[in-house]
Structure 1
Amino acid sequence: MRRWLIRSCLVTSVLSLTCLSFAAQAAGFDHVAKLADKGFVISAQARLLDSGDVLGALNPTQPLSPASVTKLYTAAASLDRWGPQHRFTTRLVSTGDVGSDGVLHGDLVLDGGGDPALTSEELWLLIQKLRERGIHRIDGQLVVSQWRFGPVGCETTDRCKTQTEGTNAYGALLSSAAVNYASWCATVMPAQVGQPAHITSCDTVAPTLRIDNDVKTVAAGQAASLYAKRVTDSSGDTLRVSGQIPAGTYPRPVYKSSSNPADQTGQTLYSLLSQAGIQIGGGYTVSQQPPPISAKPLAAVEGKPLQELLLRTLNYSNNFMADTLAMDLTAGSQQSLPSAGHVLEQFAAGLSGSGPVTLRSGSGLTPENRVSAQDVNALLAAMYGRASLFPTFVAGMQVPTNGPMHFIRRGSQTFQDHVMLKTGTLNEPVTVRAIAGYFRTESGRWGSFSVLVNGTASTPYLSWRQTLPLIADDVTAMIENH
C-alpha cells in the first residue's frame, strides 16, 4: 500500500504533495512503516527530550489501542497523587470490646485498604498483633469489608469468564480487600512412584478450597507436566490439577485466579486465625459496608511502598495490580473501572502536548482505550521533567538485555542496552503490539519513543518476533546518529 502511494505521486502535482507529506511523516520509522503494507495501522513518534526535536514520526496523532502501555498512565498518575513512598494500610477493627479473658465480644472486621499486593504474610502480621493483645477467641463473625470497591463489575472478557472458571492467574475481579493478587496457590509435591502427588495450600496448613487431584508421581528423570484450572459452582471454588510430577523433584506451585477475591480473603484469614489458635464463633462474611464509626482499632499493617508496587506492576505487566491502583485513585466508594479510567483521562488532560485520550481501565485490558504516539510521548516527557518522580517511574521499565520478559531481547545490542521500555499486547478483538519508553543516545542525550501497531479484522496475526526487530532497527539508528 505504501509503495502504491509513492508510485501514485507521479500522477498529479496534488498527489505528489500528498505523498511527499506521507514520506516525510514516515521519516525515521522506515522499517516500522513496512507493516502498513500488510494493512496494520500505526502511530509512532520519537523525540529528544532536551530540545523536543522529533527524530521520527508516522501518523503521530492517530489514536490507537495501547494495550498494556496504558500502565504507564496508571504509574504516572499514582506517583503524582501519592509519591514513591506511599503505603496502603490494611486494618483489623472490632465492633466490641476485648475482655480480660482474651475474648473479643463482637465482630472482627478486616478493613480492606486497596493494597494491590496484600499477601498472607501481611495477614500473619495482623494476627500476631491480635495475639500480642492476648486475644484467643472472637464471639462474633469475621467480616471482610470491601467498602472502597468490590467486586468491581467485569469490563473485559477474561474477568467475566473468571467468575465461573479460572485458567490463569491475576485475572480476577477487583476488590479493595483482595489478598495474594486474588489468586489461589497450591503446591504440588511428589509421592511414591505410581501414587497420587500431594497437594497442599501455599498459604495455610489445610487447603482453604476444594482440590481435585489427578496428578500422578512418575519415575525420577521424567518430565514434569502440570495442568490446573479453577472451577466454581454453588459450593464455591475447586482447583482441578492434573498431569505428572517426577519423584525426588522439588515441589511446584500452581496459581489460578479466584472467583471472589474478598471471599478468598475471608477463607484465608479465617484459616490462618484458626491455625494461630484464635477461634471464631460465627464464621466469616463479606460486606460492602464500611466498619462502624464506633469500631475500635486492633491492628494495622502497611504494605510495600508504591515504588515497589510499580516495579512489579510494570516489570511483569500485572493487570490485577494496575487496575487495583487505578481504582484506588477514585473518590468515594463502589466506583466502576470506567470511573477509574476517567481519573486517568483527567490526569492525561493536564499533560502539555497531549490530546484527549480514552481510557477505560488502568491495565489496558479494555480494547476501547485510545491514545496516540504523541500522547504517550507527552506523558514520558512530563515524567522526565519530574525530578523527584522520574527515577521511580523509569525503574519500572525493562532494559531488554536484562529484563524479566525474554521476548524483548531482540534487535541490536545498541537497542538492548540503550532503551528502557514498556510493552503492550492484545490479540482480541484485533492484534495490538505497542511499545513505549526512553532511550539514551550515543552522546548521552535522553529521548522518548512510542510505537503503536493495531491490526484490523482482515490483517494477519502479528508476533513480537516480527514487530520488535523493525522497531529496534529504527530506534537504533536514532541512538547511533545522535
Structure 2
Amino acid sequence: MTKTLPRRAFLSLAAAAGLSAAAGPAVANAPARSLRPVARSDDLLRRLQTPPEELIARARLDGRVGFAVADMADGKMLEDHAPNLGLPPASVAKALTAAYALEVLGPAYHFETRVIATGGITDGVVQGDLVLAGGGDPTLDTDALAALAAGVKAAGITGVTGGLKVWGGELPFVRVIDPLQPDHVGYSPAVSGLNLNYNRVHFEWRRAGSGYTVSMDARSGTHRPDVTMARMGVVARDMPVYTYSDSNGRDEWTVARGALGDGGARWLPVRKPELYAGEVFQTFVRAQGIQLGAPTVIDALPAGETVARHESAPLRIILRDMLKWSTNLTAEAVGMMATRVRTGAAPASLTASAAEMSAWGRESFGLDSMAFVDHSGLGEDSRISARDMMTALYNIRRRKGLKPLLKAFPMRDSQRRIISDHPLKVHAKTGTLNFVSGLAGFVDLPDGTELVFAIFTSDMDRRAELSRAQRERPPGGREWNRRAKALQQALIERWGVLYSA
C-alpha cells in the first residue's frame, strides 16, 4: 500500500531543508534553468532541492566526499556520490566492530576477571601466589577491583605465602592504539587482556605556594586509590605541555609549569595496564587485612583455584555504551576477543585482528573495500567505501538489529542548536578525526519510510601536514568539522524531502 505523507509533515521537511511552501524560481538555491510547470507544489519542492554536487561544493571541504543512501524496505539505491571510493571511516568503524562482536560472541557474552590462588589453601593461607587474571573486560573499573578484593576475604583467605601476580595474556598487548596520536591523549591508551578504567589514570594538580601538589590515582565514584606506577613531574617550561617516557618500570610523565594555572585535572593514558590494575588490587586486598607485595606481571597463567570472580555487563550493553561514548579501548578489546573466538587463538596483533574482521566483512556482506587497521577507527589508514558501509548496515539491520544500539543523531539549525521537533529521526554512528568526518545509520521519515545511509568526507593532504603535537587541536580543524557536519545534515534533509511518499 502506498504511504501518503501528510502535507503538514511534508512542509516541515521542506522548511527544515530551507524552503517554504511558496517557493518559486526566485528563492535562494533555485536552479539556474527554468522548471516546467507542475501541478503540485509538493513536486515543485522536490525539484527545487539543491543537487548534492552543489551541496558538496558549498561545504568547501577541499578533499573527498562519498555517500550512498538506500530504501531500507528493499535495499534499492536512491542516490549516491563516489560510492565506491575507499575513505577513512573514523569511529563509524565501531558500528561494524559491534556487529562483528555480536555475531561471533553473542549479545549475552560476559567478560570475566578472576582471582586465582595457586598451591592450595591451608587454614586460610594460600600456599602459593594470588593471581589477578584478566579476561579482556574493557569495562573493568576500580569499584570492581574493590569487590574482587572483598570476594577474596569472603572466601576465607587471610594470608598468602607467595606474591601477587597479574596476567593480561587473554589478549595481545598493544602499547598504544594509534602511534601517530600525541602521547598524552586518553583516547589512545594501551590495550591488554587486563584493563582498568579504560586504561586511564587521573592526574590532578593544585597550586601550593610557589609550586604545585600533584596526584595520580585510579579514582571511581566511591574510591580514590593512589598509584605509583605512573608519576608526574612539574617542569619549568612552556612547551611541550606533556612528555612521556617508559623509565624504571613506570609511566614517567612531565608537565609544563606554564600550562597549569591554579589547578585542574585530566585523564592520561596508561601504558602498563597490568601493573596499574595490580597495584590498585593490591591496595584493596591490603585493606582487607591480607598483606601482599608489589604486583609482578606474568606471561603464562598458572593452574589454581578461582577464589573470586567479576562478570561484566552483557555484551549488548557494553556495545550500546561503546557506540554512545565512542570508547576506543572498548572497540579494540571486544574486536580482538571476537577474533580470538572466531579463529580459536589470540590474534598476533591489533592489526592482525582488524584484518580478520575485514575478512569477516568480505565473507558476510561482500564488503570488498573494507580494509581496517584497528577496531575503533582511530588509525587513519583504515578504508571502506560509502556503498559498502551502507550495504553492511542494511544487512546488519536485518540480521542483528543494530539500530537500537545506535544513539539518536540530533538535527540542528543554522546556529547549531538542536531542533527538538525535527520531522526526521536519525540513529547513526558518527566518526571524527582531524579533517576526517563520517556518519552512517538510519533515517526515519514521517510517513514511515526508513532510509539507510553512509557519508564519508576527508582531506588527507591537509591531515598529513599536521605535526604530531597539532593532532589534539589542529589549526582549522574545528571549522572544517563544522562544515562537514553541515553537509551531512543538508544531505539528510534533502533525502527527507525527496523520498517521503
What's the TM-score, normalizing by structure 1? 0.78
One-letter code of the match for 2:438?
A
Q: CA 1:298–1:139 in structure 2 vs 1: closer, same or farther (change >3 Å)?
A: same
1:12-411 aligned at under 5 Å gives the runs 29-34=52-57, 39-100=62-123, 102-152=124-174, 154=176, 156-158=178-180, 166-187=183-204, 196=212, 199=215, 201=217, 202=219, 203-209=223-229, 211-212=231-232, 231-238=245-252, 240=254, 243-245=260-262, 253-280=265-292, 282-292=293-303, 295-331=304-340, 332-333=345-346, 335-352=348-365, 354-386=367-399, 389-390=400-401, 393-400=403-410
Q: CA 1:31–1:197 in structure 2 vs 1: closer, same or farther (change >3 Å)?
A: farther
Q: How far off its partner does 1:84 sit?
A: 2.4
Kept after mapping to 2: 8 A contact 1:414/1:476:
no
Q: How far off its partner does 1:114 sit?
A: 0.4
Between the aligned partners of 2:422 and 2:119, the Cα distance in structure 1 is 61
Between the aligned partners of 1:436 and 1:411, the Cα distance in structure 2 is 19
Between the aligned partners of 1:136 and 1:436, the Cα distance in structure 2 is 54
SS of residue paired to 1:172:
coil
Q: CA 1:408–1:302 in structure 2 vs 1: closer, same or farther (change >3 Å)?
A: farther
| Root mean square deviation, CA, Å | 3.3
Kept after mapping to 2: 8 A contact 1:230/1:257:
no
Is residue 473 of structure 1 aligned with residue 493 of structure 2? no
Corresponding position of 1:5: none
Q: CA 1:330–1:409 in structure 2 vs 1: closer, same or farther (change >3 Å)?
A: farther
Instruction: Choose which of 404, 418, 425 in structure 2 pairs with 1:418.
Output: 425
Q: CA 1:412–1:128 in structure 2 vs 1: closer, same or farther (change >3 Å)?
A: closer
**Cα deviation digits, residues 81-118 of structure 1 (max 9, x gap):** 22322210111112111111x22110111221000111
Which stretches in structure 1 are left out of the alignment for 5+ residues? 1-25, 216-226, 247-251
Corresponding position of 2:449: 445
**Cα deviation digits, residues 4-28 of structure 1 (max 9, x gap):** xxxxxxxxxxxxxxxxxxxxxx996
Between the aligned partners of 2:414 and 2:311, the Cα distance in structure 1 is 35
Q: How far off its partner does 1:238 sit?
A: 3.9
Kept after mapping to 2: 8 A contact 1:229/1:240:
yes
Segment of structure 1 superposing worse, 58-67 or 303-312: 303-312
Q: CA 1:401–1:470 in structure 2 vs 1: closer, same or farther (change >3 Å)?
A: closer
Q: CA 1:184–1:38 in structure 2 vs 1: closer, same or farther (change >3 Å)?
A: closer
Which stretches in structure 2 are left out of the alignment for 5+ residues? 1-48, 236-240, 464-475
Between the aligned partners of 1:416 and 1:275, the Cα distance in structure 2 is 56
Q: How far off its partner does 1:143 sit?
A: 1.2
Q: How far off its partner does 1:207 sit?
A: 3.6
Q: How far off its partner does 1:131 sit?
A: 0.5
Instruction: Choose which of 464, 469, 472 in structure 1 pairs with 2:481.
Output: 464
Kept after mapping to 2: 8 A contact 1:32/1:471:
no
Between the aligned partners of 1:177 and 1:327, the Cα distance in structure 2 is 13
Segment of structure 1 superposing worse, 198-207 or 374-383: 198-207
Q: How far off its partner does 1:209 sit?
A: 4.0
Between the aligned partners of 1:66 and 1:364, the Cα distance in structure 2 is 6
Kept after mapping to 2: 8 A contact 1:118/1:180:
yes
Q: How far off its partner does 1:287 sit?
A: 1.8
Q: CA 1:442–1:132 in structure 2 vs 1: closer, same or farther (change >3 Å)?
A: same
Q: How far off its partner does 1:232 sit?
A: 3.9
Between the aligned partners of 1:353 and 1:439, the Cα distance in structure 2 is 23
Q: CA 1:105–1:198 in structure 2 vs 1: closer, same or farther (change >3 Å)?
A: same
One-letter code of the match for 1:260?
K
Q: How far off its partner does 1:254 sit?
A: 2.4
What's the TM-score, normalizing by structure 2? 0.75
Between the aligned partners of 1:106 and 1:408, the Cα distance in structure 2 is 64
Q: How far off its partner does 1:245 sit?
A: 4.5
SS of residue paired to 1:92:
strand
Q: CA 1:407–1:173 in structure 2 vs 1: closer, same or farther (change >3 Å)?
A: farther
One-letter code of the match for 1:441?
L
One-letter code of the match for 2:288?
A
For these two proteins, the number of residue pairs brought into alignment is 422
Between the aligned partners of 2:51 and 2:405, the Cα distance in structure 1 is 27
SS of residue paired to 2:461:
coil
Q: How far off its partner does 1:271 sit?
A: 2.1
Q: CA 1:306–1:284 in structure 2 vs 1: closer, same or farther (change >3 Å)?
A: same
SS of residue paired to 1:60:
coil
Q: CA 1:396–1:409 in structure 2 vs 1: closer, same or farther (change >3 Å)?
A: farther
Between the aligned partners of 1:297 and 1:289, the Cα distance in structure 2 is 16
Aligned-pair identity in percent equals 24
